[in-house]
Amino acid sequence: MEPGQPPAARPGPGADARPRLRVLAAMSGGVDSAVAAARAAEAGHDVTGVHLALSANPQSFRTGARGCCTVEDSRDARRAADVIGIPFYVWDLAERFREDVVEDFVAEYAAGRTPNPCLRCNEKIKFAALLDKALALGFDAVCTGHYASVVVRPDGHRELHRASDAAKDQSYVLGVLDERQLAHAMFPLGDTRTTKDDIRAEAERRGLAVARKPDSHDICFIADGDTQGFLAARLGSEPGDIVDESGARLGAHTGAYGFTVGQRKGLRLGVPAPDGKPRYVLDISPVDNKVTVGPAEALDVTALTAIRPRWCGEPPAGPAAYTAQLRAHGEDVPVTAELVDGELRVAFGEPVRGVAPGQAVVLYDGTRVVGSATIATTDRAVRAGAGV
């Protein structure tokens, strides 16, 4: 077995070796979920399509093809289900989505953290609310268009692995799933090394009208893509100071929630740095409503502590070497991690940047997803106010 490859195992739900399953296919209205549903049906499973209505007023979410929460998207999903030849329903999960994803997103920013709503949606909606309802109705698995793979080891334990195509891998946003949820998850796109162009070509061959529909981007529930404006409308104006590491006032802001750690653009500082180099957001303090900025090297993080760990199987038994991913499209970095009093302690082999409280850290053992946790605190290589 080559390093970094999944262990020898039999496929998870949906493979030819498994019996015919009752499958609920979550269909967003995009090409990936449509092809995933078609593959599940072609494999001989009893597939039913469902589109999740996540807004009480779908017109207030994105229009066109930029999101997955519009009336247009539900119609695209229905047309795809008709072509595949499977039953189709729309399920209203708007209230649950508002409470568990949208309100959590706003609260996290208000607390000075940077959340990832896609992870929360997978954890609370697609593989909790949706899965629980599916199981109650007698379905065996929930199928989605995520690019990831579930394998079953000879001992029966399930593992989540990166997709065969690393360029399309979405295992990071699935790192919140536990083994029970993985037991009922089906990802038909994760086991084959196909590009997005291949998926679109397959959709065309199948007669699916979404074959050329653009991918969704950004946050589905922010209609115009203006995150700061979305937060301001809900949190109001909260003027405060932008300061340097010594506490000297450099400028003002209308809400600390409008900034993220590592941000460089949009600071609107009237006072240049003494060395003329750009300044970056180093810290966001909702307590005194201050945003601290400083040089790039002050962003170097050597270690972090993360809370609310979720494991895709057994948790780490002790300190061990892994790789970690810190953003949905970030690169792997070598780390040493251990679980201490219910918190995950992660030390980096080399300093990394762009690490913010509220983000998820996802651990990998080769291609296997070990688990994830929410970053609470970070250790900096350069102490704030140390004169850098």
Query: Do 147 and 165 fall into the same domain?
Result: yes
Query: Do 357 and 241 fall into the same domain?
Result: no
Is the pLDDT at 203 greater than 90? The verdict is yes
Q: Evaluate whether residue 157 is within a structural domain.
A: yes
CB atoms under 10 Å from CB of 317, counted, come to 8
Q: Evaluate whether residue 231 is within a structural domain.
A: no
Q: By residue range, what is the domain housing residue 291?
A: 237-296
Q: State the Cα angle at 9 between 188 and 21, rounded to 5°.
A: 45
**Rounded Cα distance, 12 and 40, in Å:** 12
Query: Do 252 and 306 fall into the same domain?
Result: no
Residue 324's pLDDT is what?
Answer: 97
Q: Evaluate whether residue 34 is within a structural domain.
A: yes
114 with 356: CB under 8 angstroms? Answer: yes
102 with 234: CB under 8 angstroms? Answer: no
CATH number of the domain enclosing 156: 3.40.50.620
Q: Evaluate whether residue 222 is within a structural domain.
A: no
CATH number of the domain enclosing 242: 2.30.30.280
Supply the DSSP symbol for 125: I
Query: Do 81 and 120 fall into the same domain?
Result: yes
Instruction: Identify the three-state secondary structure at position 356.
Output: coil
Is the pLDDT at 16 greater than 80? The verdict is no
- The dihedral built from the CA positions of residue 261, 266, 272 and 278, taken in this order, carries a sign that is positive
Residue 121's pLDDT is what?
Answer: 93
Query: Do 37 and 180 fall into the same domain?
Result: yes
Residue 385's pLDDT is what?
Answer: 46
Q: Evaluate whether residue 340 is within a structural domain.
A: yes
Q: How many domains does the chain have?
A: 3
Give the tokens for residue 377: 């605190």
The last residue of one of the domains, among 171, 195, 212, is 212
Residues designated catalytic: 121, 220
One-letter amino acid of 159: E
One-letter amino acid of 329: H
All residues at 6 or more sequence positions from 181 whose CB lies less than 8 Å from its CB, including other chains: 127, 128, 131
Residue 195 — very low, low, confident or very high, per pLDDT cuts 50/70/90? confident
The last residue of one of the domains, among 281, 296, 311, is 296
Residue 35, phi then psi, degrees to nearest 5: -65, -40
Quote the pTM value.
0.88
